Structure 1
Amino acid sequence: MNKLSPLLIFLLFSINSNAIHILHTENVSMFPVCVTPEAPGGLRATTISTSKISLVWIDNSTAEDGFTIERSSISGTTGFTSIGTVGSNVTAFTNFSLAVNKQYWYRVRAFCTSLFSPYSGVASSITLNLDVANVSRPEFKTGKVYQTINMASGAYFLNHTDLTVSAQPRPLVWQLFYNSRLAGYNHLMGFGWSHSYDYVLTNIGDSIWKVHYADGHETPFVPLADGSATPVFGGTFETLLKNVNKTYALTFKNQEVFLFDSTGKLTSITDRNGNMTTLSYSSVRLASVTAPGGRSLTFAYDASNRIIKVTDPLGRNVNYAYTSGNLTSYTDANTNTTKYTYSTLRQITRVTSAKGDTVIYNTYDAANKLISQSDAYLNATTFTYDLSPADTSTAFLPNGGTQKFIHDSMYRLLIEYNETGDSLVYTYDQDFNNRTITNEKGIRTIFTYDNRGNLILQNKPQGAVTGYTYNLKNDTTRITGALGNITTMNYDVNGNLLSVIDPLSNQKTFIYNLTGQLINTMDKLNQPASFTYNASGDLITTTTPAGTTTYAYDGSGNILTFTDPNGHITSYNYNNINQIVFVKDAASQNITYTYDKNNNLATSTDKKGSITNYTFDKKDRLVTIQDPTSATTVFRYDVQDNLTVITDPLGNVSTFSYDPKNKMNGSGNANGIKQFGYDAVGNLTSKTDETFYVTGYLYDSLSRLTTITDGVGNITKFTYDALNQKLTSEDPKNLITNYTYNANMLLTSVKDPTGSISVYTYDANGNRITEKDPAGHVTTYNFIPGDRISSIIDPIGNSSSFIYDAKGNMISKTDPNGTVALYTYDAINRLIKISYSTGDSNLYTYDGNNNLLTMSNATGLTSISYNKTNHPVVVTDAFGNRLNYTYNAGGLQSTVTYPGNRTVTYTYDGINALNQVTDWMGHITTYLYDNAGRIKTMTYPNGTRCNYVYDNAGRLKDINNKLAGNTIINRSVYTLDAGGYRVQEQRQEPLTTLLTPHINNYTYLNDNRLKKVDSITYNNDANGNRLSETGLNAALYTWTENNLLASVTRGTKAPFTFKYDPLGNRIQKRQGTNTKRYLLDYSMETFQILEEQDSSRNPKGTCIYGIGLIARIDSANNFSYYHFDGTGNTIALTDSSGLITNTYTYEPFGEMLNHNGNSDQPFLTGGRQGVTTEGNNIFYTGIGYYDAVTGRFISKSADWGLITNPQSLNRYLFAFNNPLSIIDKSVNFFRKYDNDNPRVFKKEIWFPKKINSAK
């Protein structure tokens, strides 16, 4: 501090009888007075580089002129000379131009004129010797190529884990590390190698304590008088203490303590709970490493004290061989041997894999730096190092690209230039922590740390700041999010987490046993869980309110059996390197795996015994997959290991290209090439399809997508808050949807562009417990422990309830009508039976690969058999109809054979898109595609055709059906708004559509069910199924136990009745004695109707499909070909001669306005998608029934919708009330019409592997 000066104060005053009056004052400062200063304290010396040491101290004096700094290069007691002075109040000094790898001692004293304080304590540090001490220090950020080449030092380094034994709290991991710049190091594993327990402390005359770490780097500490030590290098946060028994304790930030004996050998590793891993020795030889639970690794040596064998508790061995002190081979526990070849300077020059392939070739320069590395195919990467003007190193890659790195004298990465010249820039604080990162776009993120190296602030662009606080054991105690949301953590004295309190003050708690193992938790709803362990520390039980899961282990800690809460057991076997080779499920079905010499997967055998083979190249890249039918897919790569070619089993080729930064910039097939562009930080900025239409993407400084611009210039925008939560989405019509969130980042409201707001609330565990629609109607969800839904109460008070078994399978559901469904599962949790309180039931069986084999109900039994690739090949339905399927080598359906040996054949083009459908009479339908894979032309067997035209955004804008002579059957030309919705249609059609303006008034109940339209009333049951309607089409409806329409009665007519298979697909309709049965295509997700039959299985209408419905053949063998408008409605039928036989028109929601012709075929509204008419403008979509008059479904959808789109929560809604632009081919399937024509249509096979109706 500044020294003090005496101060004289003169006063001029007068006195009278009552008071003393001050007339004038004046201060006079005298000359300064010196006193002997106090000694500085807290002197600390920190190494900055190979030639620089920084000093800091504490000013304890109240009077000094400055400080003198003295240095000794001899010892801490002699040889000190003055090297400089600094002024008053200055408490730092940097000593430059020092020798490399040399220790210096420092002391400081204050002075005031000729008076000097006592000396501070002595501080010492050593300038860096980077090749030994810093080259491999993990806390240093250095440029790396292929993760094995250090571009700061020119070192080649590698590591491999040879044995792992599960143990608590830390597994026993036997790992080797090699560094070519440390080739002189020779301890137990040969020159240049160290191992995971290779921690050694060396005491150099009690002036320096040097610790050698497992990865090869060394850190020196300067001992202090109290037995503690100061690390020489900044960025070292371990503490080192010499105990009174002359042992040494190295404590890491995580509170692990590494104890060294007086000779410097590591003897134990103790975690924060006192659990000790012990190391025992035989003389200098490490004999064993033993975990707290007793599992151990043991070691055998050759005569030169080099480790030649490591053995784990199961007796598995890893073996090592040496030549002239070099580790030349290691043989893993599977007896596969990797070999190393060295230069005369003990640098690895070749690595030979267990298959015998040389996979790495290294060349070094005279300075021992790696200058060339070639891979197994002799693709070479070369390296140069230039120390002027900065430490610059350059990698020249095999693809011609260049990477450049600039480091400081501490070998810290300052600038990294990628292959396109863009740079990442780094700065550091005095403790070597990464202070800032400036990305390739110039955007900077700032990091702030405490003096123990813990991150306390992260400042991202746009003001996004996250803060962290810690306790003295470096445990995070508080996280303050960018919006001020605070999460708090509490710990016990050992540092075990006791509680987490989220930003909404919900708390989860944890309890531990004496060894620090978690034994109990209580979640935020006070739901408990408990855990037990075996003597080795393996978790053996997990118990929740639902039940207990049990685990058993082998001696190495691999799980041998897993027993679920229902008592079902899955078992596992492993090879000697812990790869799974055998899995037996609870149904005693087996999966097996084998591996090649390089430990890559070679074969997998499924539960039915079908074998898939895999091969890998010299670089362990997957090159072939051969399925159980011997169909082979081949993969090829470029010199940078990017996948460039996939050749499928049919010989069709897909290609991929990459930019200099190895980002995919092109993908191609027989149709053309897609192109991709990226910004400097790798965000996708453009996508150009095969027809050269471009979609553009923009991002903010945090790389969050902010705009999408389609091929016609329409822009969609997004904004975000500081936590990256989407705040708004603005469509191309400038309509904005707003989103809000609670402090736990859960969506709490959505405001749509009309201002209507939907609100959501959650329980403490984050389960959504209420949904309130814009009209204020609330749906409530209740949960039981395990966060399973126990009941749902709709806005009018109807309730559904659910019960689960211990595994979480739903075993009972009671719907609002009071119907109870009981669900039964097999040992591997597959649904095998549903029993209803009505007495009805569904049964299911499966094969070993979980494919559905049979399903049955009161209607009958359906059976399915499969080929080796799990495609259905024979289906026999409930009425005895048999369907046969075949497939090409690519797994695409080649044929479907109907009853009566009638076969439809499918062929595909070079991109596996369907290009031809041929029926059993030789009639051929063909498809042509544009380069983007969209249907361009469909040509029917009768010469008619349909042409499709798309805009630059890939949306359908023109559909044109023509007769063979180019006469237009129907044509629609669409005008689209910015949102992609159709706002105008120019029609040419065989019948004129006359829309009569009318207004209807709709009344709804609180759960969105329709109550009334004008004078027509509708009644529903508690499940929401329509029971009746009045008016001209008055009807009564009944429903099955699982909410499938059972019957419809209109007036005095005989009712229509319906039957379904156990998947809920309709398979029969009957009115009186008139029975119509449906033969379904069980290979397709849509379960298309292949044939209508009478009760004697005689065909009444047979359908042929390609991309949608192509044709129907009636009972008189007359062909009708279907022509659709742009919404998938049937507009016309033509016969085999290409003549128009029937024409149709519709109002927008699908109600048929007019029909000219005599066909009673069922595919009208939505006919292209297989939707059938049921009369009176009711349509069956395959999953539900739609009323085109009201524009609503007559029962609730099984799809509960998405809270981000509140409209989807209305389970009666049809096509989001926009049927002109959105297809609703089922109760829960929405898509834009202009995306209806798939880019690539494959006759892909779908079949339910698991029945999820109970989920």
Structure 2
Amino acid sequence: MALPPSAAASATLTSQTDPLLRQTTFSYDSQRRTTAVTEAAGTPAARTTTLGYDPLLNLPVTITRQGLTESRSYSAGKLASLTLTDTTAITVPYPTGGRTRTWSYDWLPTGQLLAVDGPLPGPADREVMTYDGAGQVQTHANPLGQVTQVLARNAMGKPLTVRDPNGVDTVLTYDALGRPLTVTVDPGPGQSQYAMAYDPAGNLTRLTMPTGGWLDYSYDGANRVTQITNDRGEYVLFQLNAAGQPVLDSTHSADGTVQRQTARVFDELGRLLRSVGAGGQTWQIGYDKVGNPVSGTDARGKSATTTFDRFDRPVTSTNEENETENFAYTTFDADLTEFRDGRNLATATVVDGFGQTVQETSPDRGQIRYWYDEAGRTVQTIDARGVTTAFAYDAADRLLSEVSTGPGLASQTLSYSWDSTAGGNRGIGRLTGVSDPSGAEALVYDAQGRVVQRSKTIGPRAYSFSYAYNANGQVTAITYPSGHIVKYVRAADGRVTKVRALAYAGGPTIQLAGAIAYKPFGPLSGWLQGNGLTLTRSHDGNYWLTGIELSGGAGPLLGMTLSRDANGRVTAVADTAAPQRAASYSYTDAGRLDSASGPWGSDDYTWDANSNRIRVDRVVGGISASDVATLAPGTNRLAEVRDAAGVLARSYSYDPAGGTTEITRPGFASIGYSYDARGRLTAVSAGGAVVASYAYDWREQRVASSSQAGGDRHYLYGDDGELLAEYDAASGALVREFVWLDAMPLAMISGPLASPTYTWITTGHLGEPLLLTDAAGAVVSSV
């Protein structure tokens, strides 16, 4: 029943109180439009947002809150401009109040958005759209004029062909209901086509990948996914509660055997209360009355807590050992103004009205200042050493250069280039080149945006990798700078089944790994090495690694088993093939390493409230010794280490940004460390004489080293940061290359290029190499 006017007016919401008794109040104008909202009303933390309206339109023209004002203008009822004005009173490191950022919007008479002009001065950051006769987007041009086009649509208005700025087409087909049936990227010999199928209710029932692998989806009567099955017959089952939340999900092999499972308990509000692992390990979460997670209990029964402010922002975090971190914020949003660690040391930040940090003062890395342009991009920083780094961008917000200069330091310049199309490179919209103090890197892409060649120079030396892919976009071959080729044979679902190596194109093939197996929807479980040895990786019902075995005809060369606590941390290591490898570990309530014993002896560790290791008591060969650390006052920097009797063992010095500059040991030459303008370690000296130097590329990877012990080396890496090759810097000769399987090193290649030596690598649970075996399956190195 409609309320009479007086009743309707009295029904206007003026205040709202949540279950924690926090009150929000509302004010209105004569037209009953909201003019003010005050959160945490009646408390010292109260914050108010006010709104002003266009006199003719029922649309806000100003939205004001502490530190920021948003102004809007309209044209024919459409947003014409949006201006953000910083109203903070910050003066240090520079005045921030009064700065503005404005976006402008152009519209067609038919109501479609024609252009957006960003906050940079002039039209440099303007984006433009065009439309077809039906009012549907036909082209979109970014600020650089790079155009994405819709070339054709069907009668339903669905795009049939979309062309990207590199001229590459994506073609789509649909069923009679407008659901996509196929998506074909770069139609032709190198195309990738995805296919979809549906049930009568419109649910996706099969997704077929370009290489032929597929996933099937099953649903219950409420159209909720209950099973996912792959083309190997492996599947994941979901048991759902009435609200559709998964109370049990289990992963099965094709024969139905459960391989992994997790159970969950939710409350009536749909919040996760408990998560139970396959071994009964239970993690619990507690909430306050408004749904903030205020407590967590791990599978060992150890609890941590979090408290929240009136705006649901965490203000304290107390770990399982009752050590507390504290957080403070700006009035609005979740922008930190102070963080206090477990030792109560504060890192303070000054935040402007746009929510960006303009100054950070840290007890460990000193003071850093930040400057931004109208688009909110960082244009300059000055660190605690006085090093200034200037950043430049193009109109599409892509980084063009970084220049770092500082007192007594050589200038460091990184330059980025984009959009190269030379030699058929499909580089428009992509990073195609970088130069840095160590050298340069060039990237060549195929039609689908995959890197097919990566050329790198380090000093005077040039190196190049080339890549081949399957239709899924997964790597199938890598050609190393030496000419060695590594091929990854993949099944229809994309998983690697074999790894092969060729010394040169057309040369004989060496199988590095075969019969590669995976857990269903999970990690690698083993393979047959090319030297005849079999590697098996065992996992429990949580897919935690529990064993690694390397065996051959003469028995196991590695028989490692891993024991874990309820949280999954390793507590014991045993090896039937090498009992001397046995080790045990224990942990504090907060998960820090408490003690460790193994071939090295035994260690007991003491930590402070910020996880600084402040003492180690060790026993080696029946002899006891201790390292007792002292931190520099008001910091987390290690100042000195003494033995249990108080005798100084070593002391440390730092630069203003927290980089270690010297380690001094009584009776020994001091060790010095030097850094470049980008803060990277460039030289190590002993007694004032340089004993090692380093160079880095734009990815912050060490690409060159020079040392008295190891000579001069160049290092090359893959896209995930994995070391792929090491070369002699002086001669350019190959030292060694590495072959990877997923995230694990599989083999090492060394020796003459035409007839290389292959060495297989077996790693432990941390990815650390444990055994090296030769082509005959014999151990050539063991840790």
Same-fold call, TM cutoff 0.5: yes
Take 1:863 and 1:522, find their aligned partners in 2: how far apart are those partners? 48
2:112 equivalent to 1:558: yes
1:957-994 Cα offsets, whole Å, 9 max, x none, are 111122x2152222221222111112222224558352
User: 2:663 aligns to what?
Assistant: 1029
User: 1:1170 aligns to what?
Assistant: none
Alignment of 1:451-490 (within 5 A): 452=8, 472=10, 475-490=12-27
- How much does 1:619 deviate? 1.3
Take 1:969 and 1:483, find their aligned partners in 2: how far apart are those partners? 62
SS in 2 for 1:488: strand
Q: Contact 2:365–2:658 at 8 Å: present in 1 too?
A: no
2:348 equivalent to 1:780: yes
User: 1:1213 aligns to what?
Assistant: none
User: 1:845 aligns to what?
Assistant: 417
User: 1:833 aligns to what?
Assistant: 401
User: 1:762 aligns to what?
Assistant: 329
Seen in structure 2, the aligned counterparts of structure 1 residues 521 and 1100 have a Cα distance that, compared at 3 Å, is same
User: 2:611 aligns to what?
Assistant: none
Q: Contact 2:72–2:79 at 8 Å: present in 1 too?
A: no
Take 2:77 and 2:223, find their aligned partners in 1: how far apart are those partners? 46
Q: Contact 2:713–2:726 at 8 Å: present in 1 too?
A: no
Take 2:699 and 2:770, find their aligned partners in 1: how far apart are those partners? 32
Q: For 1:553, give the aligned amino acid.
A: W
User: 1:811 aligns to what?
Assistant: 379
1:1225-1247 Cα offsets, whole Å, 9 max, x none, are xxxxxxxxxxxxxxxxxxxxxxx
Alignment of 1:1199-1210 (within 5 A): none
| Structure 2 counterpart of 1:655, from 204, 209, 216 | 216
Take 1:1096 and 1:475, find their aligned partners in 2: how far apart are those partners? 82
2:436 equivalent to 1:857: yes
User: 1:1020 aligns to what?
Assistant: 654
Take 1:1052 and 1:790, find their aligned partners in 2: how far apart are those partners? 38
Q: Contact 1:1077–1:1095 at 8 Å: present in 2 too?
A: no
Q: Contact 2:330–2:336 at 8 Å: present in 1 too?
A: yes
Q: For 1:676, give the aligned amino acid.
A: F
- How much does 1:796 deviate? 5.7
TM-score (norm 2): 0.83
| Structure 2 counterpart of 1:933, from 498, 522, 543 | 522
User: 1:1074 aligns to what?
Assistant: 711
Take 1:585 and 1:776, find their aligned partners in 2: how far apart are those partners? 48
Aligned length: 677
| Structure 1 counterpart of 2:31, from 465, 471, 494 | 494
- How much does 1:1052 deviate? 6.8
Q: For 1:771, give the aligned amino acid.
A: F
Q: For 1:967, give the aligned amino acid.
A: G
Q: For 1:674, give the aligned amino acid.
A: V
Q: Contact 1:671–1:930 at 8 Å: present in 2 too?
A: no
Q: For 1:1125, give the aligned amino acid.
A: G
- How much does 1:1113 deviate? 2.2
- How much does 1:676 deviate? 0.5
Take 2:362 and 2:84, find their aligned partners in 1: how far apart are those partners? 33
Q: For 2:127, give the aligned amino acid.
A: T
User: 1:892 aligns to what?
Assistant: 474
Take 2:722 and 2:547, find their aligned partners in 1: how far apart are those partners? 29
- How much does 1:1054 deviate? 4.1
User: 1:514 aligns to what?
Assistant: 55
Q: Contact 2:365–2:384 at 8 Å: present in 1 too?
A: no
Seen in structure 2, the aligned counterparts of structure 1 residues 644 and 569 have a Cα distance that, compared at 3 Å, is same
2:558 equivalent to 1:923: no
- How much does 1:1021 deviate? 1.5
Seen in structure 2, the aligned counterparts of structure 1 residues 635 and 956 have a Cα distance that, compared at 3 Å, is same
Take 2:271 and 2:672, find their aligned partners in 1: how far apart are those partners? 54
SS in 2 for 1:786: coil
User: 1:575 aligns to what?
Assistant: 132
Take 1:852 and 1:950, find their aligned partners in 2: how far apart are those partners? 40
User: 1:970 aligns to what?
Assistant: 558
What stretches of structure 2 of length at least 5 have no aligned partner?
86-98, 420-426, 504-508, 582-598, 603-617, 619-625, 643-648
Seen in structure 2, the aligned counterparts of structure 1 residues 1056 and 489 have a Cα distance that, compared at 3 Å, is same
Take 1:489 and 1:846, find their aligned partners in 2: how far apart are those partners? 50
TM-score (norm 1): 0.52
Identity %: 19
2:487 equivalent to 1:905: yes
Alignment of 1:345-744 (within 5 A): 452=8, 472=10, 475-503=12-40, 504-516=45-57, 517-525=59-67, 527-544=68-85, 545-566=99-120, 567=122, 568-593=125-150, 594-628=152-186, 629-669=190-230, 670-690=232-252, 691-692=257-258, 693-744=260-311
Q: For 2:17, give the aligned amino acid.
A: T
Q: Contact 1:1028–1:1036 at 8 Å: present in 2 too?
A: yes
| Structure 2 counterpart of 1:956, from 523, 535, 545 | 545
User: 2:610 aligns to what?
Assistant: none
Q: For 2:699, give the aligned amino acid.
A: L
Moved more, 631-640 or 1104-1113: 1104-1113
Take 1:740 and 1:578, find their aligned partners in 2: how far apart are those partners? 51
Take 2:569 and 2:663, find their aligned partners in 1: how far apart are those partners? 33
Q: Contact 1:1065–1:1087 at 8 Å: present in 2 too?
A: no
Take 1:1138 and 1:787, find their aligned partners in 2: how far apart are those partners? 60
Q: For 2:251, give the aligned amino acid.
A: D
Alignment of 1:1048-1127 (within 5 A): 1048-1051=684-687, 1054-1071=690-707, 1074-1081=711-718, 1084-1107=719-742, 1108-1116=744-752, 1117-1127=756-766
Take 1:1070 and 1:871, find their aligned partners in 2: how far apart are those partners? 34
Q: Contact 1:648–1:890 at 8 Å: present in 2 too?
A: yes
Take 1:948 and 1:734, find their aligned partners in 2: how far apart are those partners? 29
Q: Contact 2:173–2:183 at 8 Å: present in 1 too?
A: yes
Q: Larger relative contact order (C-alpha < 8 A, sep ≥ 6)? A: 2
Take 1:1047 and 1:1099, find their aligned partners in 2: how far apart are those partners? 24
Take 1:976 and 1:889, find their aligned partners in 2: how far apart are those partners? 40
User: 2:568 aligns to what?
Assistant: 980
What stretches of structure 1 of length at least 5 have no aligned partner?
1-233, 240-449, 453-470, 1145-1255
Q: Contact 2:266–2:273 at 8 Å: present in 1 too?
A: yes
Q: For 1:733, give the aligned amino acid.
A: R
SS in 2 for 1:633: strand
Seen in structure 2, the aligned counterparts of structure 1 residues 989 and 816 have a Cα distance that, compared at 3 Å, is farther
Take 2:3 and 2:745, find their aligned partners in 1: how far apart are those partners? 71
SS in 1 for 2:580: coil
- How much does 1:815 deviate? 1.0
Q: Contact 1:608–1:849 at 8 Å: present in 2 too?
A: yes
- How much does 1:477 deviate? 2.5
Take 1:757 and 1:679, find their aligned partners in 2: how far apart are those partners? 37
Seen in structure 2, the aligned counterparts of structure 1 residues 745 and 923 have a Cα distance that, compared at 3 Å, is same
Q: For 1:636, give the aligned amino acid.
A: A
Take 1:663 and 1:966, find their aligned partners in 2: how far apart are those partners? 52
- How much does 1:583 deviate? 0.7
Take 1:671 and 1:1030, find their aligned partners in 2: how far apart are those partners? 62
- How much does 1:785 deviate? 2.0
Take 2:670 and 2:200, find their aligned partners in 1: how far apart are those partners? 73
- How much does 1:476 deviate? 3.2
